[in-house]
Amino acid sequence: MNTPDADSRARQLPKVLLHEHLDGGLRVATLLDLALARGLALPAADETGLAAWFDHNAHAGSLEKYLEGFALTVAAMAPPEAMRRVAREAADDAAEDGVVLAEFRIAPLLFEPHGTPGDVAVEAMLAGLAESQLPLHTHSGLIVCAMRHEDEAATMRAAELALRWMGRGVVGFDLAGAERGHPPGKHARTLAAVREAGLPLTLHAGEADSAERVIEAGRLGARRIGHGVRLVDALTGAAPAELLDEAKALGLHLEVCPTSNVHTGAAASIATHPITALWRAGVSLGLNTDNRLMSRVTPSSEAAVLLRDTPLTEADLLAMARQAAAASFLPEAARQRALAAIG
């Protein structure tokens, strides 16, 4: 719906954020500060140039190109105090943008080559969330990611790390990274171990790969799906229609990230993004940022672009926020608090 005040109306909406990568959500100024402190080579010398570099990569139209910037962000935020700062700032920025509940995610083992053990990384990021405007446990939590292109020994190590911090701020486990060619079933033993220990699963699926991968992730125990937009193929005839029914039967909630999906080629535009069709088909889903730095977005800007470029309304976005709050991995009291804030 085209309205002149979409930005202001979007800012006023209460929001729930379930899918944001900490290493993709740094403030540009913070990245510049941290990188210079570590003596890292930068693609640009100032904030404007650095933001433009990320923007260029984001518009390359491929997930692989989009992911290139993470090598820089991971190196910059590798010291524990830097991680703590990044987590605190991410939560503060979300709170100031109207987010009432947030789950952030990170792959802690990516920091080991930079000298920071996984447990130290998790502890630092949890400390940052604890001192933020979205305090740990009551308003925020951390999801530990494993990298899906690695072998199962590596993903099992990440799972064991997540389980050591379960109940202390880690609320879920994810498989992230380049999706095509790395189906979730490749890590079935790891996912079974996490599921049996009682830690919830959210898996990236149906972003760069097919609708069948969404269902595969659900059958492996995922309660939520990162992206999942290719499930729309079950509506268009490009995939079997029964996949949509199974997604609903499994109770899957999609963590949809519209602008990121356009940047990675998972959607052609916001106007034609699958979120509208999936929402109207009765799929549970929520609105997310994915990577604020890479895609140059905020929770409010994501809401505003939907209000401008799609038929979705404020009432739709509030209903999505309620579904996201209900699907959160935070404790029941936190979910109820968020639902009360949404109204």
Are 323 and 253 in contact by the 8 Å Cβ rule? The answer is yes
Q: How far is it, in rounded angstroms, from Cα 103 to Cα 64?
A: 24
- Spell out the SS3 assignment of 111-174: HHHHCCCHHHHHHHHHHHHHCCCCCECCCEEEEEEEECCCCHHHHHHHHHHHHHCECCCEEEEE
DSSP string of 218-257? Answer: HHTT-SEEEE-GGGGHHHHTSS-THHHHHHHHTT-EEEE-
Is residue 274 within 8 A of residue 232, CB to CB? The reply is yes
Decide: 13 and 312 in contact? Cβ < 8 Å. no
Q: b/e string for 114-138 if b means 16 or more Cβ within 10 A?
A: eebebebbbbbbbbbbbebebebbe
Residues carrying an active site annotation: 207
| Sign of the four-CA dihedral 75, 80, 85, 87 | positive
